[in-house]
Chain A
Amino acid sequence: MIKAEAKNINFYYGDYHALKDISLSFPEKTVTALIGPSGCGKSTFLRLFNRMNDLIGNIKLEGEVLVDNTDIYAKSTRIDLLRKKVGMVFQKPNPFPKSIFENVAYGMRVNGIRDNNYIEEIVIRSLKQAVLWEEVKDKLKKSAFELSGGQQQRLCIARALAVEPTLILMDEPASALDPISTAKIEELIHELKKDYTIMIVTHNLQQAGRVSDFTAFFYLGELIEINETKKMFINPAKEKTQNYITGRFG
């Protein structure tokens, strides 16, 4: 079953044609890595799925972006509900200046949930899903800023999970982390895949190989190749892909 889909997407920043006729679908409960050199359009593409690009002025989008077979750019779309369904994790961990508990509870509180027992249950479940519970269970009231960078990133993942999304967007989620924290995030992605559909932008090709089922290679705003990751890294279909992943690009 297809969880999300882009159909004939053309995207412009002013006159700049950033995404060129891209069609790509994301099967449910899979991880798809988006790779390509800086400026190739992969992050722009990722941000289409929670309408983060809307925050930038002077943009134009052509084509359809579907989540659960619904056009998320339709006039009837409520962006707050869309972002509840589509969680996002950024390159740098960005916890709120609140306690560990309140960071995870935040989404529920702004959505009007007042039942403290329910909130506590979801906070614990989300922290466990993000494999952070054992490390923070005795200091839930401490500031989130007391956590290490890797812990903060997992806290942000727990915060995203607490509002029960079904699609998770990750924009280089481990690029600012040390190898141990990176390994934890990658293990977490493997676990999350059982319940969620994940798109991950990464510059780390080995990471794409380790965590994803599918890999999409973008170059100069075009989708050059989408393939099973293991096929992409053993025998890519396109010469441009091979040149990029073997470091012989340009």
Chain B
Amino acid sequence: MTHLETELRQLKNDLLEMWSIVISQIEKSKAAVENFDKDLVKEVKANEKLVDAFELKIDMDCENLIALENPVAVDLRFVLSVLKINYNIERIGDYANYIANVIRKQPQPFGKDVIEATRLMEMFDIAHLMLVEAYESFEKEDNKRSLNIFEMDERMDEINKGSIAVLSEFIARNPKEGKQYLELFGIIRKLERVGDHLENISEEMIFFMEAKIIKHKKLQKNKKQSPSP
């Protein structure tokens, strides 16, 4: 194995390690909402610093690789993709931290009826599944799995849109709880953004593995069907 290959493998391992921490952060933030568990909130907040540290290290390693090793072809695409995936994964970590903060500030848990009506747990589950599918796709360098992510993101968008009407109804029925419903809406919006970031990540993986750029094509195709590279 050449020196460059060793460096690229280390970069991949670091990103996967950060990625697995973020998957766990989403799991913990879900459990914190579900069980109103403030100990988990503390764990998420502690791990957030670790995620930030990984982001800085990976950024720096990418810069060094480009400056010192002059990667080309698949190696260059890999480093450019890692740079962007790193940013997106870190943002997802931020959202897990945001959700933990919401729980920390709540005097009481969210009602089970509103959680069910807004399909909040379903959103958490889709976000988690998207993260895992993308992780495995990147780890195995197999793009077939990442294509499901575009479909899953559409489900996230649909739940997000539907939640506005659901929450308006809850607020109208119980205005005293309005603030808490809005906090819950904040969580829904962040989960919807998790889906968007995973879509970005899938686009980067397609660029790395197939050298295809689908960003703008996807926007046009999305209206009728799920994108294909």
Contact = CB atoms under 8 A, between A and B. Distances in A.
Interface of A: 205-206, 209, 232-236, 241-242, 245-248
Nearest to B75: A246
A233 B76 contact: yes
Contact of A236 (B5, B71, B73): B73
B77 interface: yes
Interface in B54-82: 70-77
A224 to B, nearest CB: 14
A247 B73 contact: no
B2 A235 contact: no
Nearest to A206: B70
In terms of DSSP, what is the predominant structure of the interface of chain A?
helix
B4 A233 contact: no
B206 to A, nearest CB: 12
Contacts, number: 32
* Contact-residue bracket for chain B: 10 to 19
A206 B69 CA distance: 11
A86 B73 CA distance: 33
A246 B74 contact: yes
B2 A248 contact: yes
A123 B74 CA distance: 46
Given A247-B2, A248-B2, A235 B75 contact: no
B211 interface: yes
A19 to B, nearest CB: 25
Contacts of A245: 72-73
Given A234-B73, A247-B2, 17 more contacts: A205-B70, A206-B70, A209-B72, A233-B72, A233-B73, A233-B76, A234-B211, A235-B73, A235-B77, A235-B211, A241-B73, A242-B73, A245-B72, A245-B73, A246-B4, A246-B74, A247-B4
Report the 9 A-B pairs with minimum CB-CB distance, sorted nearest first.
A235-B211, A233-B72, A242-B73, A245-B72, A246-B75, A236-B73, A206-B70, A246-B73, A245-B73
B72 A205 contact: yes
A2 B4 CA distance: 39
Interface string B169-207: 000000000000000000000000000000000000000
